[in-house]
Chain A
């Protein structure tokens, strides 16, 4: 650092153009991922996603459940013990309501509040990144985490199931027999559909994280949000509105395993999930861009 380096240094400013903004979001997103990777809770969430498949597999192996009870009663459950590819869809159906809430809550409720509590928010907000860019990068990192957790879930199920029961064809939800390779592709397509409402739940967690500034409130609040929606969906009084409740969309992946493919169910889930995802994101941005950072 020479004398001229400081005294005669021109002040560098950002242009604010779209490429400049995208570059800022991209750089911040990369480091948000690095931060997630460096934290134990991230690995805890990923491990939980894997363990749930293994626990389910083990319970099937050692249980005395007859082939027409429990998970076997599910159309795809008939494939259990016959094809490893049946494991992930069946487990996905069993954990559909509470699984995504826990996975999404673990990071979404914490991703801003943690930095607020630790004081690192004030460290990064005095750099050359705008608040909106930072929040966008955090949201993208959060979505990446959700997708990664679901991929870990699917891959663990496919690998463990294949090791236990082999890589064989199976019948889909409508009873049509599909090849093993086709079932494998549909498994990941189903995960993609399942990720959409899960991300919508994560968006609400992000809002809680911004508003509450407390990790515990953000995490627990997100879980309660998902549980409350589940309870709401179960009320007989709102039966006609049930298709528009967010948690109902957690079953839209069934459309992937139907013959013909249930595209209407899938697209319905996409736009309903978007309706639940966008308002919390906008609200989070409105709060975050103007709030005082005093931690």
Chain B
């Protein structure tokens, strides 16, 4: 069957994707659509099904149901599936006993030798590893291996990049580098699908996201729309936080009420609800030291959708 023309096909179209391991359903009817030029964040807690989904996209594991199309091609087609596609799962694994340059030459050869020395040098330059290209990979730091992994993807000259936790084990400088590189590649027209635990980073570089939990996509769309729909978070400093919590809990517009250190944090669906908040606090005899409005973040959205626990010590549930 002839594949659809490259120009007409979406980079990623996944419908009803299913993967089972015995009784466990790791991926349960996932739908994803990544448009050309997207930097698409794929988010979820550990074990949600992100990596399994990406493995199926890259043809490393077989699906039990549903369909996958990468530029209109099925990854089950061993010959054409990954044309124009590159990526890595969990972390790039390269040959420690070969040099960085030899690793790239090897992988380029497996791409049927289309990359010459100049192209190897070009991607090494891009990931700032040209000076260490002759060293064995066993001598590389984790961050350098991560960058070499990116180079191994770029040497393929992909139009779609699939990255699973690309910032894993990377120091802050490496994360900044990665962020800049992804932006640059996106600006150059590359479509990128990445999974990450670093929500702030995803918010920085992605224009669209999908949140997966228990094998299902629970939210998908433009990042700006999702965050805006999440309402606003409020931080309240008051004379008596337990009484303040008791006063706010019955209010209909107040959601996700929790205590963080010496503040109460909650979201309001509408800005008008602040009037109700102040009235309730006054009625309870609670003095307001500060009530600050903040835009909800991707992190807020993530915790709301996945029900994942907030980092220990960071958030303290308000006793009901």
Where the two chains meet, the residues of A that have a C-beta atom closer than 8 Å to any C-beta of B are: 1-14, 16, 20, 23-24, 27-28, 30-31, 34-35, 38-39, 118-120, 122-131, 290, 292-294
* Complex-state Cα separation, A243 to B157, whole angstroms: 56
* A14 touching B112 in the complex, CB below 8 Å, given contacts A123-B88, A126-B86: yes
How many chain B residues touch the partner (CB < 8 A)?
49
Q: Is B159 touching A6 in the complex (CB atoms < 8 A)?
A: yes
In angstroms, Cα B88 to Cα A120, docked, is: 10
A284 to chain B, nearest CB (A): 17
**Nearest Cβ on chain A to B105's Cβ, whole angstroms:** 8
Q: How far apart sit A35 and B98, CA to CA, in the bound complex (Å)?
A: 8
Task: Verify if B122 is at the interface (C-beta below 8 Å from A).
Answer: yes
- Of chain A, the residue at the smallest CB distance from B9 is A11
Closest to B75 in A: A126
Q: Please determine whether B94 and A123 come into contact, CB atoms closer than 8 angstroms.
A: yes
**How many Å from the CB of B55 to the closest CB on chain A?**
7
Given contacts A119-B93, A120-B93, contact A130 B190 (CB under 8 A): no
Total A-B residue contacts, Cβ distance less than 8 Å? 123
How many angstroms from the CA of A130 to the CA of B106 in the assembled complex? 15
Roughly how many angstroms separate A72 CA and B253 CA in the complex, as a whole number?
Answer: 99
Query: B187, A3: Cβ atoms under 8 Å?
Result: yes
- Interface presence of B256 (CB below 8 A): no
Residues of chain B within 8 A (CB-CB) of A30 are: 109
Q: Is the Cβ of A294 less than 8 Å from the Cβ of B79?
A: no
Contact yes or no, A5 B88, CB < 8 A: no
In the bound complex, how far is the Cα of B185 from the Cα of A6, in angstroms?
A: 9
Enumerate chain A residues within 8 angstroms of B109, measured Cβ to Cβ: 27-28, 30-31
Set of chain B residues within 8 Å of A28, measured between Cβ atoms: 109-110
| Cβ–Cβ < 8 Å partners of B83 in chain A | 11-14, 128
How far is B95's CA from A1's CA once the two chains are assembled, in angstroms? 26
Contact A1 B98 (CB under 8 A): no
A127 with B156, Cβ < 8 A, contacts A1-B126, A14-B80, A120-B95 known: yes
Contact A13 B80 (CB under 8 A): yes
The segment from B56-64, B205-213, B224-232, B279-287 that touches chain A is: B56-64
A residues near B85, Cβ cutoff 8 Å: 126
Residue on B nearest A28 in the bound complex, by CB = B110
Can you offer 28 A-B residue contacts whose CB atoms are under 8 A? Answer: A1-B122, A3-B187, A6-B188, A6-B190, A10-B6, A12-B84, A14-B79, A24-B112, A34-B102, A39-B97, A119-B91, A120-B95, A122-B93, A123-B107, A123-B152, A124-B107, A124-B110, A126-B60, A126-B85, A127-B111, A127-B156, A128-B110, A128-B112, A130-B79, A290-B62, A292-B55, A292-B61, A293-B55
